Amino acid sequence: MNDKVYLYPVWIRMWHWTNACLCLLLIITGISMQYSDPSYPMMRFDWAVSIHDIAGILLAVSYLGFVIGNLFTTNGKHYRFRKGIIKNLFIQARYYAFGIFKNEKPPFPISKESKFNPLQKFSYIAVMHLIVPVVIISGIFLFFPVLLNLEIFGNKALHTTDIIHVIMGFFVSLFLLVHLYFCTIGCTPVSNFKSMFTGYHERH
């Protein structure tokens, strides 16, 4: 019989789905602008720019909500590395590569005290504390170009910022694909998705 543990409070669920929708909009409009060919646009260029700008501003606000929420609730403790993280990453990777196919028990069972396994923790910290902040900061400079009117190694700083923004956007897209795949590894392929709606994580 599977039991259920309450892991995702309402504010995390609201933040998460807002963030997910905004990221999807940003990725679609970002790709559309990147590969825009005036003869075959994915969507009208001016629409893509406006939607991307608005979604970007909303994402920055919702990110602030995530940071404040983690500072003032116990959720923040899940975003700190513990001693032995490197070794634990290997143990979890070995489990995903071999153990899971031999029906072994997960090496880091999910609990209220520790809701992420080491690989989840690593990827969530990397995306939320490194990649998304860099996307937001570079996005702010692209939105207010006068803030960055200087040259780096003979190149316009704005050009370098644009490249950083695109690369980080690519990493968010990559994270999303891997994230979706790993979310299907639960009691059933859909149980983790359900848990982000109900708040209750189902475990064996």
CB–CB of 132/106 below 8 Å? no
Closest distance to ligand HEM from the beta carbon of 168 (Å) = 11
Interface region with ligand HEM, contact rule CB under 6 A, candidates 30-38, 85-93, 121-129, 160-168: 121-129
**Residue 43 or residue 185: which is nearer to ligand HEM going by CB?**
185
CB–CB of 102/76 below 8 Å? no
**Residue 20 or residue 42: which is nearer to ligand HEM going by CB?**
20
- Tokens standing for residue 4: 């259920």
CB–CB of 7/110 below 8 Å? yes
- DSSP β-bridge partners for residue 3: 203
CB–CB of 204/2 below 8 Å? yes
**Residue 90 or residue 193: which is nearer to ligand HEM going by CB?**
193
Closest distance to ligand HEM from the beta carbon of 54 (Å) = 17
Closest distance to ligand HEM from the beta carbon of 47 (Å) = 22
Binders of ligand HEM among 52-111, rule CB under 6 A? 75, 78
Task: Verify binding: residue 157, ligand HEM, rule CB under 6 A.
Answer: no
User: Where does the chain show beta strands of DSSP type E?
Assistant: 3-6, 151-152, 155-156, 200-203
- The Cα–Cα gap between 176 and 195 comes to 18
Residues touching ligand HEM: how many (CB under 6 A)?
Answer: 23
CB–CB of 2/187 below 8 Å? yes
Task: Verify binding: residue 31, ligand HEM, rule CB under 6 A.
Answer: no
Choosing from 5, 33, 89, 196, the residue that interacts with ligand HEM (CB under 6 A) is: 196
- The Cα–Cα gap between 33 and 54 comes to 15
| Contact residues for ligand HEM, defined by CB under 6 A | 8, 12, 16, 19-20, 23-24, 75, 78, 120, 124, 127-128, 132, 172, 176, 179-180, 183, 192-193, 195-196
